[in-house]
Amino acid sequence: MLSIRHALCVLLVCTLVSPLGQPRSTAVVDRFEGDRAVLATDGDETVVLARERLPREGRHVDAVFRLSLAHGAVTSLTYDAVATRYRGSRARSRFDRLSRPLGSRYGTGGNQS
């Protein structure tokens, strides 16, 4: 009988591997160069695709994708709307925190002299 721990490990592996058995990566649209999208992966790789290969809702900078690569070619690409929203809210939160006066970051309410 499979223990809960083993079942969770199997589930984790299944979510990290594409249907073709290739490891999945996370990629973020870094920029557009003409009709090409440049994506940066969590494996420090750069992937360049035609903009029209991206799902319509993910055709913007900072869009997050789950992708599978085989020999440098993209074999699957899925837009992750939840991760995109989360990434955007974290960036806004960091920016808001950094834009506050120094004293308010530490709860002192004023400048440190």
- SS3 of the chain: helix, strand, coil, percent, to 5: 35, 35, 30
At residue 44, the pLDDT reads 85
The residue ranges of every structural domain in the chain are 20-99
Tokens of 7: 């079942």
Which carries the bigger pLDDT value, residue 113 or residue 81?
A: 81
**Which residue type occupies 72?**
G
- Residue whose structure tokens are 């160069």: 33
Specify the pTM.
0.62
Percent of the chain beyond pLDDT 90? 39
48: three-class secondary structure by DSSP: strand
The pLDDT tens digits for 41-89 are 988 889 999 999 999 999 999 999 999 888 878 889 999 999 998 876 6
As a CATH number, domain 20-99 is: 2.40.50.140
Q: How far apart are the first and last CA of the chain?
A: 66
